[in-house]
Structures are given as C-alpha cells and as structure tokens.
Structure 1
C-alpha cells in the first residue's frame, strides 16, 4: 500500500479515514499530571491559567498543509473533541486549532552557524 505525506496508510491501523483539514492526535503522556521544580505534584485537572498541551499526529486529512503523521503539535486542550478507537483515546482537531509544530533536533540545528 502506498503512503502519501499525510499517511493514508494509517487506515490500515485505524478504522477511519480523515476528511478535510482534520487532524487526529494522541495526547503525550506528559501532558497530564506534572511536577513543579519544587517537587509538588500538580494534577492535570488543576487550573493554573490557560495551559496548552502536546500531542502526536496519528492521522491527517487530505487538506492538511503543515502537519504530517509523527509531528508533535501544540494545541489548547479546552477545545478538544475526544474519540475512542480500538481502546485508545484520540483528539480530533482542525489544522487551524494547532498553535505550533515542534521542530526535530536536526531541523533546529540546521542553519545555525556560530
């Protein structure tokens, strides 16, 4: 099966096909409970202002321009629509709801000349 830049081969592992500009992401495990620098455990439900979360793109629709499968994206957890597929919980986003895409180490170092 061929795979394009949006990973249509994901349909082999997930029972859905993404449409339009939709992105299916799986939330990073570290986006939940966290520990402060002082060692205090802060639960995921604590409201400390607006905190964005990280997730990995697992599927993307044909009109997604920037994100590709495997990218880590920054999004607002308050705007999430959850879906459960094959026992795993995913979040459905529109591409415009993604605030940033993390650069890989090689991308961050490219072009940096000191």
Structure 2
C-alpha cells in the first residue's frame, strides 16, 4: 500500500477516477464473535472524498462523473489502488469499478 504525506483536500483525481475513504472493517461477526485482524474481510464500502472531472469521450466532450462527494458507495472487491494518507486508508477507483450507491 502506498503511503502519501499530503492533505486529502489537495488530492484531485484525474478523469473518471474517485478517491474513496474505506469504511472500517467489522470487529465482530454477525454471531457476536470478535474477529482477529487476520480473519477480517476487506471492506467494499466507502465514502467518496474527491471526484475527478469526468471521462473525455471520443468526440472530445467531457462526461461528468455520476457520483458526488459525500456519497457512500459499494465497489468491486479487487478494484482500485489502495493509498494511506495520514492515518486513514483510501482507495483510488475508476467510476466503472463502482457497483452501487448505498443510502
């Protein structure tokens, strides 16, 4: 995982990419058993922190990203590039790696 020493507010994804803050992993199972770090699943839900300007079409027209900052999203399990900015974990994704907006 890449570690960056920058401010999140100064991070601007390019094109159709999004910076998503990864939600914390579950500490307990549904049955109430406390999970050790090795048994925790990688979360697939996060909050959009920063959005790129959109994808450029073949005609040269910019297509804006459908997701806004602050939206909770579900993304593909093995998608994106994981980053650590400060003490927080983020993932840099393409818009096509998003599966759903979670309310």
Task: Give the TM bin, normalised by the shorter chain.
Answer: 0.5 to 0.7
By how many angstroms is 1:59 displaced? 0.2
By how many angstroms is 1:62 displaced? 0.8
Higher Cα radius of gyration: 1
1:18-57 matched pairs, under 5 angstroms: 18-29=13-24, 32-43=25-36, 45-46=38-39, 53-57=44-48
The root-mean-square deviation of aligned C-alpha atoms, in Å, is 2.6
Matched residue pairs, number?
A: 88
TM-score normalised per structure 2: 0.68
Structure 1, unmatched stretches of 5+, are 1-11, 104-114
TM-score normalised per structure 1: 0.62
Higher helix share: 1
C-alpha distance 14-78 of structure 1, shift in aligned 2 (>3 A): same
Structure 2, unmatched stretches of 5+, are 1-6, 55-63
